[in-house]
Amino acid sequence: MVLQNSGKYRPERKDGAKGAGGSREETSEIRLRESLENDAIDSKYGFERVADHLERTGFLINMHTTEILDEDKRLVSAVDYYFIQEDGSRFKVSFPYKPYFYILTKRECIQEVSAFLTRNSVDHLQKLKWCPKKIWI
């Protein structure tokens, strides 16, 4: 029998994996645990999150999305920026941001779409903003 590589990687599913349909509290715990694990890995490589307000100068070497705890102990989306200073020391800065997406609607349907999103997504959306589409020539 000859085995052939199909080219598709299928990871084994773990109990409690993302998308397993767990409750909101379970997924929040998983996300918090992953965030803490990422911080532990970063600190092993010398990238400590900056807590003071001193001015630092460094070269940006990497960045990626993450989640951090805000003042209300809720997970919020953020971007980790990794820097290296001239003396070789390393640090990272986490900058919170609000994810966004665009919806293209017909001009006549703007009010209906915004009313629908406001009604049905009140827990997930922070704000709605109408902006005209820019046409590049």
Band of residue 16 on the pLDDT scale cut at 50, 70, 90: low
For residue 12, being part of any structural domain is answered with no
* 29: containing domain: 24-96
Do 92 and 35 belong to one domain? Answer: yes
Q: What is the pTM of this model?
A: 0.64
Do 51 and 72 belong to one domain? Answer: yes
Band of residue 15 on the pLDDT scale cut at 50, 70, 90: low
**Measured distance CA(78)–CA(64) in Å, rounded:** 9
For residue 37, being part of any structural domain is answered with yes
Instruction: Report pLDDT digits (tens) over 25-54.
Output: 678 888 889 989 999 999 999 999 888 888
Do 60 and 114 belong to one domain? Answer: no
pLDDT score for 106: 87
What is the rounded radius of gyration, in angstroms, for the C-alpha atoms of the chain? 21
For residue 69, the surrounding DSSP H or E stretch is: strand 59-69
CA atoms 37, 31, 29, 35: torsion sign? positive
pLDDT score for 130: 82
